[in-house]
Chain A
Amino acid sequence: MATLTVYSGTGDGYVVSTSTTYSSARSGAGLTADSASAILVVGQQYDSADYIVYESFFRFDTSSLTSGATVSAAVLSVVLYPSLDLAATDFTLEARASTWGGTLQTSDFVAGASLSSATLLASRTTNAMTADDTRYDLTSDAAFPAAVSKTGNTDIFLSSSRQRGNNTPTGNEFQGYYSADQSGTTSDPRLVVTYTTGVSGSLAVTLGAATLAATGAIPAKGTLSSTLGAATLAGTGTVANTVYTGALSVTLGALTAAATGTAEIEGTAGISLGVATLAGEGAVADTVIPGTAAITLDAATVAATGQVPAQGALAVTLGDVTATAEGAVTNTVREGTLAVTLDAVTVSASGAALVSGTAAITLGVATLAATGVSPVQGQAGIALDAVTLAGEGEVFDTVHEGALDATLGAASLVAAGIVPAAGTLAATLGAATLAAEGAVTETTHTGELAATLGAAMLAAAGVVPIEGALDVTLGAVELAASGEVEDGVAEGSLAVTLDDLTLAAAGVVPSQGQAAITLGAATLSGAGAVAIDGTLAATLGALTLSAAGQNVIAGALASTLGAATLSATGAVAIEGSLDATLGTLTVAATAGLLVKGSLAQTLGAVTLSASSEVGDTVSTGALDATLGALTLAAAANARARGTLNTTLGTLTVAGSGHVEIRGTLGATLGAVTAIATGKVLTRGTLDATLFALTSAGVGKVEIEGTLTAGLAALGLTGAGTVTDYVSPPRRVVLQAVMEDVVIGTTGIVATRTGMIAIRRGPSAL
């Protein structure tokens, strides 16, 4: 829009009609024209002799308006000449279209009877036009804009409404205004035109919203579209072409289909946004964009309180952002931000949310390419939000048969009912989650569940059967179930790197595959039994197995730099190997505790404890603790049939029943203690180098093998008998190298044929 102010040309003037009869004067008689006067006169007069009628004529050069211009308003104004408000009887000053031609002649006078035939352009009553040297705007008529010539002059004349109305004057009823004489001041008659054009200025296309609204049904089965045409600026000149210093924007409004009832869309609901292109072909400094070139696309939403059966495609597609140049030097220099941002795709319903097709967010490639230099000094970023499918219905909720894939965002399937994801659920740099609260075959995942740098979680109140692979890198993997039968079955591999790995079930937690964790805790817990046929390994993290039922480990459990703990209210049977490096190794059971394999621990304690009465705490394999304590403790018998060895740590075998040592107990640089409320039977070798070796029993202390204390005391005490009664002779060797050998008893101390050697120090024997 622009405003054009035109001052009238110097040819303006007025025509006077004079007659002794009013009718003649009104029609035109005794005419004279004056185009040189500084005054323009309009109105009527009776001077006691003649009737005089005045009409004034203006010319405005509006030829600078081109035919392409659209005039929206025109305002004519005049300035009251001093002492010439002589409208004793007020009248309406009327401006009308004329063809007077610029050279004023008496024939230009318009008879009063013909005035109505001339198009009325503007008018104003004179009753408030009283102040000398004051500009007064006339009120424009609707016809005025169209009467403004866009290629030539706009000719106008002023006359009195009383002349048009054939009202005979009885005195003065006229006014005088400044004309456009050669002096040229702002008192000259003025025409102000408001116009728009397609050239120079603002270029704007605004499209309003397309809306269909009804309180009843809206059966729009055809096409509902809102299309915005292209906005184009093009120049073919040689210098400074297509320079646009203002804003260049295309805005597309929202497309909405809303109803209080059903909103059915059987066709396509789409918003397409055209390409925003700025291109230059010159040689120097082309396509300079000092401002922002942006395409913003709003969200596409389908929402209803009832069903949302979107059976077609629901897609938001964002076009490429491209900056290209073909010059030789430093082209495609971009110092600001180059960003493509895509909002979230969300499908949610309080009822069923069935996506039988593909739910996908595709993000185009962000590319900067140049045959010359392509320096990106700012930021080039792609941000992608989450993909979420959620449902709360009862049957077939949140069924996802296709691929659910989120790159750089979270992928989640959540339902109160079933979440059978038979396809691939993959999240890169985001969390992948499957959760369900239903009763039967919930949260079945037969495909691959993979999360890279994010958490992967499967949780269900019922079964969580995983037949495929679960893999997460730098994120937590969680499987949780509270059902009673075969819950938490993981037949494939479970692997987590640098975070926790957890399998928890109220029922059985049978891990038949491999469960491995690096730098994080591994926990398997079940209200029922925990059976592990495969390998569980924790590196730099804790390894924990706990079960209310039986805890059977046929495979290997390894914990490096972290604690390994097995606990069960039932029996614990370890047939494989348990290895804890730099962490504690603890196996505890309220029932029997059987270790058939090897338990090895470096720089940490090894503890096996059980509270039952029969066959408890049996170790037939090797138990080895380096730089840490090794302890077997039982409310009943404590039997070590294999080798128990500790280096720089204490070795303790304690039982409320008997303590039977058939294998070898060795403590290098640490104490060896065998304590029992019952009998202490040593058939193997007990060796403590540099520390004390103590064997104490409330009952008998039977020694059949060799007991050696290196640089510490060797003590045998018993409330009953301390005896070596086992044949053949010389099978018992008690040896204290640097300290005392003390054998104390309230009963008999007997050595049948054995030998007690005291290398140094007194003997209390």
Chain B
Amino acid sequence: MPETPLDDAVQAVASDSELSGSEKGAIIAGIRATGCIDAFAALIPHVFEVETVAGAVVVTVNAVDDVVCGRSVENGVGVRISATLDGKPLDIDPDREFVNPPLRFVTPDGENETTVAASIGPGGREIPARTYRWREDPVANIVQDIAEQIRAEIEAKRAG
């Protein structure tokens, strides 16, 4: 099995009977943010492409830090980006910030497989078992979110 150190750490905190729910949430958010920054920092500058209604937008992640709203926070990830469309600079928000970013990137070719057992859900309804594949990739999650945001922003601009 591939190593999933961040997810393992999160699961360990979640199963800790000594911690309160809010304490668990704070610790888990910190693990997620720190792991995300470390993974992202190794890729800088990171370039990816977003297909939008206006065409392919090339996004460059220029820097990653723990600064949100101008100050360092334990559970935050600050992603500084620039973008071009057809080679010309695109006027977009350069600061994309995240709190409590997810670690598991759900994808059919993920190395890991998790099965949620069948259960009796709300109102006595039977919830069938569900299996999904994933890999520990906080960068992919954030890239996916940024792509969604840019896509939505361009659509909104086009709509006037």
Chain A positions within 8 Å of B, measured between CB atoms, are 1-11, 14, 16, 35, 38-39, 41, 45, 47, 52, 54, 59-66, 69, 82-84, 86, 102-103, 172, 174, 176, 180, 182-188, 192, 194-195, 197, 199-202
Contacts and interface: CB of A to CB of B under 8 A. Distances in A.
A202 B70 CA distance: 12
B94 interface: yes
A2 B97 contact: yes
Contact of B25 (A9, A201, A202): A9
A184 B104 contact: yes
A172 B125 CA distance: 10
B34 to A, nearest CB: 14
A197 B68 CA distance: 11
A62 B99 contact: yes
Contact of B100 (A6, A14, A192, A197): A6
Contact of B114 (A4, A183, A188, A202): A183
Contact of B93 (A3, A11, A64): A3
A86 B21 CA distance: 30
A84 B69 contact: no
B114 to A, nearest CB: 7
Contacts of B25: 9-11, 59, 61, 102
Q: Is the interface of B mostly helix, strand, loop or mixed?
A: mixed
B53 to A, nearest CB: 17
A716 B68 CA distance: 121
B100 A64 contact: no
A1 B93 contact: yes
3 nearest interchain CB pairs?
Answer: A199-B70, A2-B95, A182-B14
Contacts of B128: 82-83
A8 B101 CA distance: 9
A2 B22 CA distance: 27
Contact of B122 (A6, A59, A174, A195): A174
Given A3-B93, A64-B76, A184 B127 contact: no
Contacts of B149: 3, 5, 192
A174 B123 contact: yes
Nearest to B6: A184
Contacts of B96: 2-3, 5
Contact of A38 (B28, B98, B116): B116
A183 B70 CA distance: 29
Contact of A61 (B10, B75, B121): B75
Given A66-B70, A172-B123, A10 B102 contact: no
Contacts of A174: 122-123
Contacts of A35: 21
Given A11-B22, A60-B99, 7 more contacts: A2-B69, A4-B99, A10-B28, A35-B21, A65-B68, A184-B28, A185-B134
Interface in B33-85: 67-71, 73, 75-76
Contacts of A195: 69
Contacts of B125: 84, 86
B66 to A, nearest CB: 10
Contacts of B127: 39, 83-84
Interface in B9-28: 10-11, 14, 20-22, 24-25, 28
Interface residues of B, number: 49
A39 B130 CA distance: 13
Given A64-B68, A84-B121, A200-B67, A186 B102 contact: yes
A185 B135 CA distance: 10
A147 B37 CA distance: 29
A132 to B, nearest CB: 10
A14 B122 CA distance: 10
B145 A182 contact: no
Contacts of A38: 116
A3 B124 contact: no
A185 B28 contact: no
Contacts of B22: 9, 11, 102-103
Contacts of B99: 4-7, 60-62, 64
A165 B33 CA distance: 42
B21 A182 contact: no
Nearest to A60: B99
Nearest to A137: B152
A39 B121 contact: yes
A287 B55 CA distance: 40
Contacts of A1: 93, 95
Contacts of B154: none
Nearest to B75: A61
B104 A185 contact: yes
Nearest to A202: B94
B72 to A, nearest CB: 9
Interface string B95-122: 1111111111110000000101000011
B69 A4 contact: yes
29 contacts: A1-B93, A3-B149, A5-B149, A9-B25, A11-B21, A11-B25, A41-B121, A41-B122, A47-B124, A54-B122, A62-B99, A64-B71, A64-B97, A66-B70, A82-B128, A84-B121, A84-B127, A86-B125, A103-B22, A182-B28, A184-B32, A185-B102, A185-B106, A185-B141, A186-B105, A186-B106, A199-B71, A201-B94, A201-B95
Given A2-B69, A16-B122, A182-B14, A7 B21 contact: no
A202 B141 CA distance: 26
B73 to A, nearest CB: 4
Contacts of B70: 66, 197, 199-201
For B22, B28, B29, B141, the residue with the greatest tally of chain A CB atoms inside 10 Å of its CB is B22
A202 B94 CA distance: 9
A543 B7 CA distance: 102
A2 B99 CA distance: 13
Contacts of B67: 200
Contacts of B68: 4, 64-65
Contacts of B134: 185
Contact of B145 (A5, A59, A103, A197): A5
Nearest to A172: B123
B121 A64 contact: no
A69 B116 contact: no
Contacts of A176: 121-122
Contacts of A82: 128, 130
A606 B141 CA distance: 102
Contacts of B7: 184
A1 B96 CA distance: 10
Nearest to A199: B70
A363 to B, nearest CB: 36
For B21, B32, B69, B102, the residue with the greatest tally of chain A CB atoms inside 10 Å of its CB is B69
B28 A187 contact: no
A6 B29 CA distance: 10
Contacts of A10: 14, 21, 24-25, 28
A66 B71 contact: yes
A266 to B, nearest CB: 43
Contacts of B144: 186
A187 B67 CA distance: 24
B104 A3 contact: no
Contacts of B94: 201-202
Contacts of B145: 5, 186
